[in-house]
Chains A and B, each alone.
Chain A
Amino acid sequence: MAAAVRLVLLVLLLLGPGVWGQAEPPRDSLREELVITPLPSGDVAATFQFRTRWDSELQREGVSHYRLFPKALGQLISKYSLRELHLSLTQGFWRTRYWGTPFLQAPSGAELWAWFQDSVTDVDESWKELSNVLSGIFCASLNFIDSTNTVTPTASFKPLGLANGTDHSFLRYAVLPREVVCTENLTPWKKLLPCSSKAGLSVLLKADRLFHTSYHSQAVHIRPVCRNARCTSVSWELRQTLSVVFDAFITGQGKKDWSLFRMFSRTLTEPCPLASESRVYVDITSSGQDNETLEVYPPPLTTYQDVILGTRKTYAVYDLLDAAVVSTSRSLNVQLKWKRPPENGYIHYQPAQDRMQPHLLEMLIQLPANSITKVSIQFERALLKWTEYTPDPNHGFYVSPSVLSALVPSVVAAKPGDWEESPLFNSLFPVSDGSSYFVRLYTEPLLVSLPTPDFSMPYNVVCLTCTVVAVCYGSFYNLLTRTFQIEEPRKGGLVKRLANLIRRARGVPPL
Chain B
Amino acid sequence: MGLLSDPVRRRALARLVLRLNAPLCVLSYVAGIAWFLALAFPPLTQRTYMSENAMGSTMVEEHFAGGDRARSLARDFAAHRRKSGALPVAWLERTMRSVGLEVYTQSFSRKLPFPDETHERYMVSGINVYGILRAPRAASTESLVLTVPCGPDSTNSQAVGLMLALAAHFRGQIYWAKDIIFLVTEHDLLGTEAWLEAYHDVNVTGMQSSPLQGRAGAIQAAVALELSSDVVTSLDVAVEGLNGQLPNLDLLNLFQTFCQKGGLLCTLQGKLQPQDWTSIDGPLQSVQTLLLMVLQQASGRPHGAHGLFLRYRVEALTLRGINSFRQYKYDLVAVGKALEGMFRKLNHLLERLHQSFFFYLLPALSRFVSIGLYMPAAGFLLLVLGLKALELWMQLHEAGVGPEEAGGTSGSSPPYPPTQGVGLASLVAPLLVSQAMGLALYVLPVLGQHVAAQHFPVAEAEAVVLTLLAIYAAGLALPHNTHRVVSTQAPDRGWMALKLVALIYLALQLACITLTNFSLGFLLAASMVPAAAVTKPSGPRPLYAALLVLTSPAASLLGSLFLWRELQEAPLSLAEGWQLFLAALAQGVLEHHTYGALLFPLLALGLYPCWLLFWNVLFWK
Contact = CB atoms under 8 A, between A and B. Distances in A.
Interface of A: 91-93, 95, 97-98, 108-109, 177, 211-216, 247, 249-250, 254, 372, 376, 392-396, 398, 401, 444-449, 452, 456, 471, 475, 478-479, 484-486
B472 to A, nearest CB: 36
A484 B11 CA distance: 11
B12 to A, nearest CB: 13
Given A250-B174, A486-B8, A449 B352 contact: yes
Contacts of B352: 394-396, 449
Given A392-B351, A449-B313, A475 B1 contact: yes
A177 B1 CA distance: 55
A365 B291 CA distance: 60
Contact of B139 (A177, A456, A479): A177
**Interface size grouping (class) on chain B:** 20 to 34
Contacts of A372: 211
Contacts of B410: 485-486
B141 A484 contact: no
11 contacts: A92-B138, A92-B139, A177-B141, A211-B137, A249-B172, A393-B351, A445-B139, A446-B141, A449-B352, A478-B1, A479-B5
A200 to B, nearest CB: 26
A392 B136 contact: no
B4 A479 contact: yes
B218 A212 contact: no
Contact of A456 (B6, B171, B350, B355): B355
A188 B447 CA distance: 71
Interface string B1-23: 10011111010000000000000
Given A250-B171, A394-B352, A449-B218, A216 B141 contact: no
Interface in B128-145: 134, 136-142
Interface of B: 1, 4-8, 10, 100, 102, 134, 136-142, 171-172, 174, 201, 211, 217-218, 313, 350-352, 354-355, 410
A250 B172 contact: yes
Contacts of B137: 91-92, 211, 213-216
A213 B1 CA distance: 69
B140 A484 contact: no
A394 B410 CA distance: 60
A214 B133 CA distance: 12
Contacts of A394: 351-352, 354
A414 B558 CA distance: 78
A161 to B, nearest CB: 29
Closest 8 CB pairs of A and B: A108-B139, A394-B351, A475-B1, A214-B136, A92-B137, A447-B141, A484-B7, A249-B100
A109, A401, A449, A485 pick with most chain B CB within 10 angstroms: A449
Residue among A98, A213, A216, A395 having the largest count of chain B Cβ atoms under 10 Å: A395
Given A249-B100, A396-B141, A478-B1, 8 more contacts: A177-B141, A211-B137, A214-B137, A215-B136, A395-B352, A396-B218, A475-B5, A486-B7
A214 B355 CA distance: 32
Nearest to A395: B351
Contacts of B134: 93, 95, 214
Nearest to A212: B174
A244 to B, nearest CB: 10
A110 to B, nearest CB: 12
B5 A447 contact: no
Contacts of A401: 139
Contacts of B201: 376
Nearest to B51: A456
A394 B352 CA distance: 6
Contact of A485 (B7, B141, B172, B218): B7
Given A479-B5, A486-B410, A447 B142 contact: yes
Contacts of A471: 1
B7 A444 contact: no
Contacts of A448: 218
A396 B143 CA distance: 13
B169 to A, nearest CB: 12
B173 to A, nearest CB: 8
Nearest to B215: A444
A215 B134 CA distance: 11
A484 B10 contact: yes
Nearest to A180: B137
Contacts of B171: 249-250
B7 A447 contact: no
Contacts of B172: 249-250
A376 B200 CA distance: 12
Contacts of B211: 372
A120 B292 CA distance: 73
A250 B350 CA distance: 25
A390 B6 CA distance: 51
A338 B10 CA distance: 94
B1 A109 contact: no
B333 to A, nearest CB: 22
A444 B140 contact: yes
Contacts of B355: 456
B350 to A, nearest CB: 6
Contact of A478 (B5, B10, B139): B5
Contacts of A396: 141, 218, 352
Contacts of B102: 95, 97-98
A109 B211 CA distance: 28
Contacts of A444: 139-141, 217
A452 B140 CA distance: 23
A403 to B, nearest CB: 14
A382 B222 CA distance: 26
A398 B217 CA distance: 11
Interface centre among B100, B102, B211 (most CB of A within 10 A): B100
A95 B142 CA distance: 16
Contacts of A484: 5-7, 10
A93 B138 contact: yes
Nearest to B218: A447
A471 B561 CA distance: 43
Given A212-B174, A394-B352, A396-B352, A93 B140 contact: yes
